[in-house]
Amino acid sequence: MSTSAQLEQRRWINTGWLLALVSAALFALRPVLVKLVYAEGVDSTSLLAWRMLFSAPIYLLMLALLLSSKRQRSRITRNAVLASAAVGVVGYFGASWFDLLGLQYVSAQLGRMILYTYPGFVVLIGVIFMAQRIESKTILALALTYAGVAVIFAHDLGYLGDAVVRGALLISAASLCFACYLVFSKRLVETLGSRLFTCIALLSASAVIIFFAASQGLLGSAQLPAAR
C-alpha cells in the first residue's frame, strides 16, 4: 500500500473515531434533555410522537430519492419490507418508548447505564436463537457491566425510592428491544442496504407511534410551555 493510500486510510479511521465519539456524547446527552422536557409537563408518548413527526418528512424524502434508482428498487421484496417494518417498530418505537417511560423514574445516569447493557441481550439472543457460545472474557465484561449498574441502582433506590425499580425494568425492556433490532436488522441491511432499510424501519415506527398518540388525543392537545 502506498504512503498516500495509508494516509487516506488513517484519515478515514480518525474520522470514524471522531464521529463515534460525537455520537456517544450526543446519545449520553439525550436523557438530560428529556428530563428538561419532562419538567415542562410533556408526557413521554407526546414527546416521541413529535420527534417522529419532525423526522418522518426527511426520511420520506430520502425514500423517494432512493426509489428513483432502479438499482434500489430491485432490492425490494415483500418479505424484506415487512420484516424491516417489524424490526423498525421494535427498535425505534419499542426501544425509544420504553426508554422515555423509564426516564420518568430513574436518574439520567442510571438510565444510560442500563440502556448500554444491550450487548448482554445481544449475547443472550445469540445463545438462544443462533447456538452461539459465550467466551469467558465476554462473561467477565458482562459481570463488570452489571456490577457498575448495581452500584448506581442502589444509589438511586436510596435516593428516589421504589419507583426506580419500575424505571429500571422499563429501560431494560428498551435495551432488549434495541438488542433485537441490532441482531435482526443485520440480514435486512445486507438485503436492502442501510439507507433503504433505515427509511422503511423508521417510517414504520413513526406511523405506529403517531397513530397511537393521535388515538389518545395527545397531539391535538399538545401546547407549548408558558413563557416564564
On the question of pLDDT at 194 being above 50, the answer is: yes
User: Global pTM?
Assistant: 0.80
At residue 10 the predicted structure's pLDDT band, cuts being 50, 70 and 90, is: confident
Sign of the C-alpha dihedral computed for residues 178, 30, 81 and 188 taken in this order: negative
Q: Provide the CA 76 distance to its chain's centre, in angstroms.
A: 24
In 3-state terms the chain splits into helix, strand, coil percentages (rounded to 5) of: 85, 0, 15
Rounded to whole angstroms, the Cα distance separating 185 from 197 reads 8
At residue 224 the predicted structure's pLDDT band, cuts being 50, 70 and 90, is: very low
State mean pLDDT over 190-215.
Answer: 91
Give me the helix-helix angle, 118-130 and 136-160, nearest 10°.
Answer: 130
CB count in 10 Å sphere of residue 157 = 16
Q: What is the C-alpha radius of gyration for the chain, rounded to an integer number of angstroms?
A: 20
CB count in 10 Å sphere of residue 9 = 11
Residues 153-172 pLDDT 10s: 888 887 777 889 999 999 99
Q: Find out whether 83 and 200 touch, Cβ atoms under 8 Å.
A: no
Q: How far is CA 104 from CA 23, 44, 97, 119, 139, in A?
A: 23, 8, 11, 24, 31
Which of 15-24, 51-60, 141-150, 214-223 has the largest mean confidence?
Answer: 51-60
Rounded to whole angstroms, the Cα distance separating 225 from 37 reads 10
Show the cell assigned to 78.
415483500
Task: Spell out the residues 6+ positions from residue 124 whose beta carbon is closer than 8 angstroms to its own.
Answer: 179
Residue at grid coordinates 495509508: 6
Q: Provide the CA 142 distance to its chain's centre, in angstroms.
A: 20
Domain range list for the chain: 1-30, 42-215
Residues 67-104 pLDDT 10s: 998 888 888 889 999 999 999 999 989 999 999 999 88
| pLDDT at position 142 | 85
